[in-house]
């Protein structure tokens, strides 16, 4: 749906855009390319947010590096997009022309065992987008009450059987701490 997303943003060469979920950089790359219309030089700006520093490293060293390195029309913001307003204030931006949010986990997270998202690898159960802060998935599974686990599973996992799952998690952790992806 990349093409439809870019069309929907109606990107203008002098526009101000925000990609709140940079990830692998594909959407940001497409936005920057759309800002350089045939015969027109880009004059606008794209701010790309991601709290995962791996996303930035991958962009600077990966297949999209040519688009992002030394691009005066692009600014990477190493932060959760919940701080969007703060950063837009910091950069002196009062209004934007478009915002993109591709919510979810990227393939990178599943392909890196140390991130603790994948069932394909044996690794510590982490699952944090920002590995420098907050509780890991193992911390939550081993410390939350049955009621809190059920609430999290229902609200964020949209699991109708969240109470039964929470009960099984609590029973399992009584036998052995839940620490690994498997």
Q: What are 115-169's pLDDT values in tens digits?
A: 656 667 788 888 776 677 789 888 999 999 999 999 999 998 888 999 999 999 9
User: What is the C-alpha to C-alpha distance for residues 53 and 26, in angstroms, rounded to an integer?
Assistant: 16
> Does residue 38 carry a pLDDT above 80?
no
**Tokens at 115, concatenated:** 């991130």
Cβ-proximal residues to 19 (8 Å cutoff; 6+ apart), any chain: 27, 28, 31, 46, 47, 48, 49, 99, 100, 101, 102
By CB neighbour count within 10 A (0-12 exposed, 13-18 middle, 19+ buried), where does 122 fall? exposed
User: According to the model, what pLDDT value does residue 115 have?
Assistant: 63
User: What is the C-alpha to C-alpha distance for residues 114 and 126, in angstroms, rounded to an integer?
Assistant: 8
Cβ-proximal residues to 174 (8 Å cutoff; 6+ apart), any chain: none
Split at pLDDT 50, 70, 90, the class of 113 is: low
Query: Which has the minimum average pLDDT: 32-46, 60-74, 113-127?
Result: 113-127
User: According to the model, what pLDDT value does residue 16 have?
Assistant: 96
What's the whole-number mean pLDDT along residues 34-38?
80
**Tokens at 99, concatenated:** 């915002």
């Amino acid at each position: 749906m990349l093409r439809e997303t870019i069309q929907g943003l109606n990107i203008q060469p002098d526009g101000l855009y925000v990609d709140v979920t940079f990830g692998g950089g594909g959407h940001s790359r497409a936005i920057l390319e759309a800002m350089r219309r045939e015969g027109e030089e880009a004059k606008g700006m794209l701010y790309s947010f991601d709290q995962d520093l791996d996303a930035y490293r991958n962009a600077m060293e990966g297949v999209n590096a040519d688009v992002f390195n030394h691009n005066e029309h692009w600014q990477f913001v190493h932060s959760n997009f919940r701080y969007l307003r703060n950063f837009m204030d910091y950069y002196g931006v009062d209004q934007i022309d478009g915002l993109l949010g591709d919510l979810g986990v990227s393939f990178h997270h599943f392909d890196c065992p140390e991130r603790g998202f994948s069932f394909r690898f044996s690794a510590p159960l982490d699952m944090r987008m920002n590995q420098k802060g907050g509780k890991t998935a193992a911390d939550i599974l081993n410390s939350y009450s049955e009621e809190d686990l059920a609430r999290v599973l229902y609200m964020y996992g949209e699991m109708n059987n969240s109470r039964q799952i929470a009960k099984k998690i609590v029973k399992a952790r009584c036998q052995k701490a839940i620490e690994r992806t498997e």
